[in-house]
Amino acid sequence: VGYDSQVNEETGPHQPTVLWNAMIHPLHRMAIKGAIWYQGESNAAWHNAEYNCTFPTMIEDWRQVFHQGSGGATEIDFPFGFVQLSTYHNAVPDDSFSWIRWHQTADFGYAPNPKMRRTFMAVAMDLGDEKSPFGTIHPRYKQDVAYRLYLGAQAVAYGETAVVFQGPFPKGLQLKNSTELIITYTQELTVLELSKDIFEVCCCQKGNLSSCEWLAAPIINHSINTLSLSLNECHQKITGIRYAWTEWPCDLKKCPLYSKGYKLPAPSFVIQAAHNGLSSMSSIKLFQ
């Protein structure tokens, strides 16, 4: 089952209730193996802040409806894949696309996770293509999206445990001499570029957490599964870190970080620390 949450007004109904009643609900008596959701960009400006709740709730609702409608022939927890929101504009004034990507994962940054069981995600933020005849947000090379979904389906829907279907994600942070941050990832990295600005840290004046700003943290070194970031831009307290937190973080297939061999891009993430600042972040369990 495929579904795009945005449909052009000129080509057909576009309201969510109309789409559900006309396109999805008529199929609910069928036995299905799973579903794939292709995220539309309208959600970036429509109830954005609630999407970390509404999207997992919708997945569970679909599971209930199809399980009951098919008389139990459809699994109650059938696998649900989705494409993380791609890119649209090269320069935008806000970070709404970044937030909707994060909320698509129920604010974990990866899938499956404790709130979204038996799900899998295809990261697409590196597929923005200014030369695409279908528009920048619809990649020319659909096989890239399809391949990333295929890997997730192999692993989650068909239980092929040896398949790597997720890009690298942070699992630990270590502060070194207050000038360097070392990030340990869940898997081996392919580093295409020592980017100067794709990582940012939240820099706050000590004793005044209301005066914070995000500053670039350049990549200065890397090993098999670690990255070192320079903190020289911030001379105050650091209370957060984020990666690829823009609508268009990199050119076509040229994000700085991918998994080794499988060429799966590392997803964007944001981590906010407690009031103690970066020194307390090493105790956060980043990946479950």
What is the tens place of the pLDDT at every residue in 124-172?
999 988 888 887 777 777 899 999 999 999 999 999 999 999 999 999 9
Question: Around 274, how many Cα atoms within 13 Å sit in the side-chain half-sphere?
Answer: 7
Q: Determine what percent of the chain is predicted with pLDDT higher than 90.
A: 64
Tally the domains of the chain: 2
| Confidence (pLDDT) at 1 | 46
Q: Which domain holds residue 81?
A: 18-158
Rounded Cα distance between 227 and 183, Å, is 5
Give the mean pLDDT of 195-211.
84
Domain end, chosen from 125, 158, 191, is at 158
Same structural domain for residues 146 and 39? yes
> In the prediction, which pLDDT does 12 show?
57
Reduce the DSSP state of residue 200 to 3 states and report it. strand
Judge if 277 and 253 occupy the same domain: yes
**Do both 86 and 199 map to the same domain?**
no
Quick one: 39 and 99 in the same domain? Answer: yes
Domain boundary among 123, 158, 193: 158
**The residue type at 27:** L
Bridging pattern class, strands 189-191 and 208-216: unpaired
